[in-house]
Amino acid sequence: MSKTIKLGFDSASIANALMELQAYQLWLRDKAEKLAIELTMRGFDKASVKFTGAKYDGPRSDIKYDVEDRGDGVYAIVISGTTAVIIEFGAGVTYGYGHPQADEFGMGPGTFPDAKGHWDDPNGWYLPKSAGGGHTMGNPPSRAMYDTSQELRNELAAIAREVFET
């Protein structure tokens, strides 16, 4: 929405222009908040579907999905749990490479605290019964959060138009 404010050189015109600017400022704040919420909810939907559908050889019981309102129009998609880290960044010498932000976050093959030397076994390893049991060669990185963030960046202009034009 473009906004034109006409201004004359008398005090009534200036007062009116100030009121219009204040109303526009409130409208803009409201739309920015709606945009932040819309991006967050779309991102939450995309990321949770990606995590649910990602290849992972163990149970997913510790994954928690949440949206946090951090105040001042800032929202965060929070997907937590040990399993979430493994799914996002991958695991094992066979599949644990390929996440573009692994180094930035100190992740990658052999970085998981409970790796216990098995991550680099070229024959894979056996999961404990508490983790579902069975043989695994690791998991490829799903990049669920990373890919979601990239998709939202690509869709940002269209989503902003939707929000600001309604």
CB count, 10 Å around CB of 64?
Answer: 10
Kindly report which listed range (5-9, 39-43, 112-116) carries the lowest average pLDDT score: 112-116
**Nearest-angstrom CA–CA distance, 40 and 69:** 10
Average the pLDDT over 2-14 and give the result: 88
The pLDDT of residue 3 is: 80
**Cα dist. 149→36, 39, 153 in Å?**
13, 10, 6
**From the centroid of its chain, how far is CA 3?**
33
Q: Are strands 74-80 and 125-126 parallel, antiparallel or unpaired?
A: unpaired
53: CB partners within 8 A, 6+ apart:
none
Residue 120 near residue 112 (C-beta atoms within 8 A): no
Please report which confidence band the pLDDT of residue 113 belongs to, taking 50, 70 and 90 as the band edges. Answer: low
What digits encode the pLDDT tens for the residues 118-132?
667 777 767 777 666
Percent above pLDDT 70 for the chain: 92
Task: Determine the straight-line distance between the first and last CA of the chain, rounded to whole angstroms.
Answer: 9
User: What is the mean pLDDT of the segment spanning 151-160?
Assistant: 97
Of residues 144 and 138, which shows the higher confidence score?
144
Query: Does the pLDDT value for residue 149 go beyond 90?
Result: yes
Q: How far apart are CA 114 and CA 127, in angstroms?
A: 12
pLDDT digits (tens, 9 = 90+) for 42-67: 999 999 999 999 988 777 888 999 99
pLDDT of residue 118: 64
